[in-house]
Amino acid sequence: MVEIPAGEFTLGFEPASELIPFMSDKTAGLSAQPSQSLYLETFYIDRYETTYEDFIKYKPLAKYSTHMPNEPMRAVNWFEADSYCSSKGKRLPTEFEWEKAARGSDKRLFVWGNDFNKENANFSKKITSIKMQNKDQSPYGVWGMNGNVSEWTSSWYQPYPHSTHTDENYGEKLKVTRGGAFSKRDHGFMKEFVMIPYRNISPIGARFWDTGFRCALSK
């Protein structure tokens, strides 16, 4: 695991910034505004996503499609991810912890900086090993947070502090997933959906071919 030290980080998007030129309800990340400083206590997070090999030891009778034991585990629902982390004496990270671990203490929009480069993380048509050879490494040394698979968090989809944005999905209905993933549609606005602050939401019982998880731990 990687220790993420106590301190403030920048949460969310600046509204209508030059870094997000195309603004719409879908691409602007309105639910991830306003941008604000947030203090978190020290916590730990897995350096890599949970692999198929890790998960199958926990659930040996499970049948999942995979090519390599060290691929990120995916197509598990929130309950399975949460249960796995609990079995290790850990937990799923909150979405704020996830964002800090990916973003560091500055306002970067991708783990490597503010300029999008689809070669820096796995946005290809194939899943890759957690030991990928690219630039998908956060300032804290956490791998695979911008591409490969999206990740479950422990957080319900709720409004941010000081937010005026409304969404009928707010409440204890859907969990937040974070991060971009492989095999996403290669269109002009792809970068908006893989920016670190962008929030995706999923039903807790759903399984998605591009969503996995990693565990966290309080100090």
Run means of pLDDT, 10 residues per run, the chain, 219 residues? 97 68 58 93 98 93 79 95 98 98 93 92 92 93 96 97 91 95 65 88 94 97
Angle CA(11)–CA(211)–CA(144) in degrees, nearest 5?
Answer: 60
Q: Alpha-carbon distance 90 to 212, whole Å?
A: 16
Residue 18: per-residue pLDDT? 47
The number of domains in the chain is: 1
Closest alpha carbon to 214 in 128, 134, 145, 147: 145
Name residues whose C-beta falls within 8 Å of residue 181's C-beta, 6 or more positions apart in sequence.
123, 147, 148, 149, 150, 210, 211
Q: Count CA within 13 A, CB hemisphere, residue 153.
A: 23
CB 40 within 8 A of CB 6: yes
Q: Alpha-carbon distance 157 to 171, whole Å?
A: 6
Q: Alpha-carbon distance 188 to 151, whole Å?
A: 23
Name residues whose C-beta falls within 8 Å of residue 189's C-beta, 6 or more positions apart in sequence.
22, 27
User: Terminus-to-terminus CA distance in the chain, angstroms?
Assistant: 12
- Which residue range forms the structural domain that includes residue 16? 1-219
Look up the pTM and report it.
0.92
CB 135 within 8 A of CB 108: no
Residue 13: per-residue pLDDT? 86
Q: Where are the alpha helices (DSSP H) in the chain?
A: 52-58, 78-87, 95-103, 190-194
CB 50 within 8 A of CB 212: yes
Residue 17: per-residue pLDDT? 54
CATH code for the domain of 65:
3.90.1580.10
Closest alpha carbon to 111 in 144, 71, 133, 150: 144
Q: Alpha-carbon distance 137 to 171, whole Å?
A: 32
